[in-house]
């Protein structure tokens, strides 16, 4: 009888251990982001200034090394503007303006800082960067925090929320020096290592 009871207990323990969830570590999550050759996502971005909050509907495309494309859509899903950064140059394209505007400055803009890969660059540069765990609406997250390299009073600190279960980025917060939220990005349909046509980064 005792032997039978022990056998049942062993079976239960095996079943429980087999059902336990194994999550990647924080280090493995960072490694996955860094190793991604490309990614794409949709996003909603809110940016606050001294007077108002501005909302944007976005699609982002990233490809190593240092190729960025960000598309802005209105609330009806119509494309309104596209920004491309490639080979040290930035091109800004408006749907109702035939000739694009070329600029050298893309880094340190709100668009540049909205990319996960840019957060990772800042995280690696910050000797005091750290991570914690947080639970939001029954979902568990790694929260990575760092100072923004060459930041300013409005873009001072960044926090990236990554789902523990699948290493997918979900939220990005940019804080000012007073710890108020300057920018909030909510990522949707984030996909690692997707096939992206290189022509999306052309600026002709």
Residue-wise pLDDT for 55-78, tens only, equals 999 999 999 989 999 999 999 999
Is 200 inside any structural domain?
no
> How does pLDDT run across 5-27, given as a tens digit for each residue?
545 554 444 444 445 568 899 99
**Residue 203 placed within a domain:** no
Residue 11 lies in a domain: no
Residue 29, class by beta-carbon neighbours within 10 Å (0-12 exposed, 13-18 middle, 19+ buried)? buried
What residues make up the domain containing 136? 25-190
Quick check: 101 and 85 in contact, CB under 8 A? no
Residue 13 belongs to some domain of the structure? no
Neighbour order of strands in the sheet with 101-103: 101-103, 89-94, 79-86, 67-73, 53-63, 38-48, 181-192, 169-175, 157-163, 139-147, 130-136
pLDDT of residue 163: 98
Q: What's the pLDDT at 1?
A: 52
pLDDT category at 37 given cuts 50, 70, 90 is very high
User: Is residue 199, in this structure, part of any structural domain at all?
Assistant: no
Q: How many CB atoms lie within 10 A of CB 129?
A: 15
pTM: 0.86
* Cβ atoms of residues 121 and 144 within 8 Å: no
Task: Check the CA dihedral 104-108-110-114 and report its sign.
Answer: positive
Q: Of the spans 4-18, 86-100, 125-139, which averages the highest pLDDT?
A: 125-139
Q: Is the model more confident about 192 or about 105?
A: 192
Residue 53 in any domain: the answer is yes
Q: Is residue 183 part of a domain?
A: yes
C-alpha span between 197 and 29 (Å, rounded): 26
Residue 195 lies in a domain: no
Q: Based on the structure, what is the number of domains in the chain? A: 1
User: Any idea of the CA torsion for 182, 127, 27, 45, to the nearest 10 degrees?
Assistant: 10
Q: What is the mean pLDDT of the chain?
A: 89
Residue 144, domain CATH: 2.50.20.10
């Amino acid at each position: 009888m005792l032997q039978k009871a022990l056998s049942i207990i062993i079976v239960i323990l095996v079943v429980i251990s087999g059902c336990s969830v194994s999550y990647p570590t924080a280090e493995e999550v960072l490694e996955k982001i860094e190793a991604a050759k490309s990614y794409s996502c949709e996003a909603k971005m809110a940016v606050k200034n001294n007077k108002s909050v501005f909302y944007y509907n976005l699609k982002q495309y990233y490809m190593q090394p240092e190729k960025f494309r960000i598309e802005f859509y209105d609330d009806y899903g119509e494309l309104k503007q596209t920004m491309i950064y490639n080979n040290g140059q930035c091109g800004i394209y408006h749907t109702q303006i035939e000739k694009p505007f070329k600029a050298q400055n893309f880094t340190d803009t709100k668009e540049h800082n909205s990319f996960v890969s840019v957060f990772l660059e800042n995280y690696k540069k910050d000797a005091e960067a750290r991570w914690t765990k947080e639970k939001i609406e029954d979902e568990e997250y790694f929260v990575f925090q760092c100072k923004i390299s060459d930041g300013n009073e409005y873009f001072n600190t960044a926090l990236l929320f990554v789902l523990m279960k699948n290493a997918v980025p979900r939220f990005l917060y940019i804080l000012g020096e007073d710890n108020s939220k300057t920018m909030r990005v909510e990522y949707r349909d984030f996909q690692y290592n997707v096939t992206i046509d290189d022509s999306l980064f052309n600026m002709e």
